[in-house]
């Protein structure tokens, strides 16, 4: 469609607009232009490549001008849409180029790209509490465990209901947005139930339905399908525990959603 439109626009510039000169008997001539000269209509026929004349009384000038103006309006609209699309593509390329190459989650504020801080989390089990570095896998300990972030509120907040984030992944893994649950002095990222015999983990995350757009190798834009209510959330990149059966890999970037101003 874009190629056809560009061809039509180029042809219009080179050869002039073609349109139908309607006759009152329902027929028409495809012309580039016409002139009213007394009781005659002189027109340039694109079919025969020459000037011709016809009695004015045989020509439906009202219909000709009405459809000609309608066609002009349609072409102008399509040309404007094409320009807007090209401008949007240029802006998207510029935006993509501004995203750092480092693995992480990023949020655009005005013309500035801000990184979200990679969260350190802990695994809390019935028997013990173990601090885990952010890039380390969560060990599978038979029983139940919770992955938590210290503090009840994130230091990074956004004040829009459907924030859009950029995620540059460490590798092609699942990722998305989850709602974290504030509890006393912590926020629960997920609860994990580990089956002792099979050493498989059943993860319970409060996942948010999202749209995902791939912008490049390992680079994605992610945003919620529906408005997020004010509260605590996180962007999470996580491996497939069902495949690994040994550990659960998490990368967590927490954020809060505040009421829009």
Q: What are the two backbone dihedrals, phi and then psi, of residue 102, each rounded to the nearest 5 degrees?
A: -70, 145
The enclosing domain of 43 has a CATH number of 2.30.30.100
Question: Based on the domain organization, do 126 and 63 belong to the same domain?
Answer: no
What Rg value do the Cα atoms of the chain yield, rounded?
31
Residues 93 and 110 in one domain: no
Which tens digit of pLDDT belongs to each residue from 173-224?
888 898 888 888 888 887 655 444 444 544 556 788 999 999 988 899 999 9
Of 140, 99, 105, the C-alpha closest to 123 is: 140
Residues 3-8 have a mean pLDDT of: 44
Task: From 97, 122, 148, give the residue that closes a domain.
Answer: 97
Domain residue limits at 173: 104-257
Q: How many domains does the chain have?
A: 2
State percent of the chain over pLDDT 70: 75
- The pTM for the full model equals 0.58
pLDDT the model gives residue 204: 53
Domain boundary residue, one of 74, 97, 120:
97
75 and 161 both lie in a single domain: no
């Amino acid at each position: 469609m874009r190629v056809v439109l560009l061809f039509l626009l180029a042809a219009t510039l080179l050869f002039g607009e073609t349109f139908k000169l309607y006759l009152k008997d329902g027929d028409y001539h495809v012309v580039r232009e016409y002139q009213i000269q007394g009781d005659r209509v002189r027109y340039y026929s694109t079919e025969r490549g020459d000037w011709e004349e016809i009695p004015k009384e045989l020509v439906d000038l009202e219909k000709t001008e009405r459809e000609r103006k309608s066609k002009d309006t349609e072409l102008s609209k399509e040309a404007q849409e094409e320009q807007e699309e090209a401008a949007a593509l240029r802006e998207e390329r510029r935006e993509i180029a501004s995203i750092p190459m480092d693995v992480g989650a990023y949020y655009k504020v005005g013309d500035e790209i801000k990184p979200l801080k990679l969260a350190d989390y802990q695994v809390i089990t019935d028997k013990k509490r173990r601090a885990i570095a952010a890039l380390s896998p969560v060990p599978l300990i038979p029983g139940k465990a919770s992955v938590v972030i210290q503090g009840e509120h994130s230091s990074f907040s956004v004040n829009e209901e459907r924030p859009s984030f950029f995620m540059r992944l460490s590798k092609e893994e699942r990722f998305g947005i989850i709602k974290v649950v504030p509890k006393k002095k912590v926020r629960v990222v997920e609860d994990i139930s580990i089956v002792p015999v099979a050493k498989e983990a059943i993860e319970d995350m409060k996942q948010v339905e999202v749209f995902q757009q791939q912008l490049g190798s390992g680079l994605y834009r992610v945003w919620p399908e529906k408005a997020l209510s004010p509260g605590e959330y996180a962007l999470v990149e996580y491996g497939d525990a069902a495949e690994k059966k040994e550990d659960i890999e998490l990368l967590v970037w927490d954020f809060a959603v505040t009421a829009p101003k």
